[in-house]
Amino acid sequence: MKIKLTSVSIDDYDKALKFYTEILGFVKKHDIPLGEGARWITVVSPEEPNGTELLLEPNASYPAMKALKESLIKDGMPFTAFQVNDVQEEYERMKELGVEFTMEPTNMGTTSAAVFNDTCGNLIQIYQINNV
């Protein structure tokens, strides 16, 4: 058994794809039309083009998902997390690009982490593993 796909809930394909590629720096892997406007869009890390794919899943308006996302945002809880080599460096790069951070880089002991708004209704954590 392998984990080859995970997903993030979005509301608008193009807006999400723009953010996840142009701001975060992921690369589009698949963009498959599924009919009636639906698309199967995944992105991958340029460092791992054959690694786990992130599906941009347009389920943000599904009532249960909408409620979950609103609660997570309200409570400041990240929807998911991505690993980076240097949180401070990524934070500064993304701030320059206008990304809103709800938590600046913070030392959590074994990790350092920051949290940003992905403009698709999610808070996303970036973290680095600290040398301890």
Partner 1 sequence: MLHTGDTQVLEYHTDCIEDVMRYIREHIAEPLDRERLADIAGFSVPHFHRIFTAHVGESAISYVRRLRLERAGRKLRMGAVDITEVALAAGYDSHAAFSKAFKQLFGLSPSEFRQLGCWAATELLRKGKQS
Q: Least Å distance between CB 75 and partner 1? A: 5
Please tell me the count of residues contacting partner 1 according to CB under 8 A: 14
Q: Least Å distance between CB 104 and partner 1? A: 5
- Does the protein bind partner 1 through residue 131 (CB under 8 A)? no
**Does residue 119 come out as left (phi exceeding 0), alpha (psi in the -120 to 50 range) or beta?**
left
- Does the protein bind partner 1 through residue 96 (CB under 8 A)? no
Residue 59 φ then ψ, to 5°: -115, 20
**Torsion sign over Cα 18, 93, 47, 5:** negative
Contact footprint for partner 1 (CB under 8 A)? 74-77, 100-104, 106-109, 113
